[in-house]
């Protein structure tokens, strides 16, 4: 096997060549009950390396709106996101990366209980950067829209942001039928 093999904690995945923090996952394979082998490519120096990562179960309680608590379940969040991204260009790998990043973010908070709303907002913030359609779909579930008005408000917020970002692309010619 080429390259250096390092055992990392999954929360710290620095490039062994340049110490850059962000890398792309090229391939993931479970190598045991609690470890996963990943081929990664550094986003700064483009070199590839292999990591053997411990799969640590993130343990905290999710506090639901009703006040009831349930253990955080990665699969549940993953399933919700997967539904939201169906028919978009987002890959399963991107979802895994998103959930990884989100779990890191939550772990860094060091809390034992996290409101479900916060979990949803964290996911939304990341999803928004990936795909707008998926973002709105996920938002409709996690923000529990009570009416079509709520949904329209969300769409308009999204549209406004988009308008700000690309105000030059606004002129779309409409061809009227004869």
Minimum distance of Zn ion from residue 46's CB (angstroms)? 7
Minimum distance of Zn ion from residue 22's CB (angstroms)? 9
One of 8, 14, 17, 52 touching Zn ion (CB under 5 A): 17
Minimum distance of Zn ion from residue 10's CB (angstroms)? 18
In the bound state with Zn ion, the residue whose beta carbon lies nearer, of 18 and 152, is 18
Q: Are 62 and 114 in contact (CB under 8 A)?
A: yes
Minimum distance of Zn ion from residue 44's CB (angstroms)? 5
Residue that the structure tokens 């308008």 belong to: 163
Minimum distance of Zn ion from residue 96's CB (angstroms)? 21
One of 10, 13, 42, 139 touching Zn ion (CB under 5 A): 42
Query: Which 45-84 positions form the footprint of Zn ion (CB under 5 A)?
Result: 45
One of 8, 14, 20, 78 touching Zn ion (CB under 5 A): 20
In the bound state with Zn ion, the residue whose beta carbon lies nearer, of 24 and 83, is 24
Using CB atoms within 10 Å of the CB of residue 13, give its burial: 0 to 12 exposed, 13 to 18 middle, 19+ buried.
buried
Q: What CA–CA distance (Å, rounded) separates 43 from 17?
A: 12
Instruction: Report the alpha-carbon angle 62-68-69, nearest 5.
Output: 30
In the bound state with Zn ion, the residue whose beta carbon lies nearer, of 8 and 17, is 17
Question: Per-residue x/- marks for Zn ion, 124-143, CB under 5 A?
Answer: --------------------
- Answer positive or negative: Cα dihedral of 73, 76, 80, 86: positive
What Cα–Cα distance (Å) separates residue 112 from each residue in 23, 47, 58?
A: 28, 37, 10
- Answer positive or negative: Cα dihedral of 141, 147, 151, 153: negative
Which residues sit at the interface with Zn ion, rule CB under 5 A? 15, 17-18, 20, 42, 44-45
């Amino acid at each position: 096997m080429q390259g250096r093999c390092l055992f990392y904690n999954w929360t710290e995945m620095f490039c062994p060549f340049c110490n850059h923090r962000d890398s792309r996952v090229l391939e993931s394979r479970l190598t045991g009950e609690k470890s996963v082998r990943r081929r990664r490519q550094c986003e700064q120096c483009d070199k590839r390396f292999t990591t053997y990562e411990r799969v640590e179960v993130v343990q905290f309680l999710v506090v639901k709106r009703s006040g009831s608590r349930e253990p955080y379940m990665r699969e549940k969040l993953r399933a919700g996101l997967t539904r939201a991204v169906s028919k978009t260009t987002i890959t399963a790998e991107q979802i895994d990366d998103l959930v990884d990043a989100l779990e890191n973010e939550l772990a860094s908070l060091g809390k034992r209980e996290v409101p479900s709303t916060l979990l949803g907002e964290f996911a939304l913030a990341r999803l928004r950067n990936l795909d707008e359609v998926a973002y709105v779909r996920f938002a409709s579930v996690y923000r529990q829209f009570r009416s079509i008005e709520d949904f329209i408000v969300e769409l308009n917020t999204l549209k406004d942001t988009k308008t700000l970002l690309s105000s030059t692309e606004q002129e779309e010619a409409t061809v009227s039928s004869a």
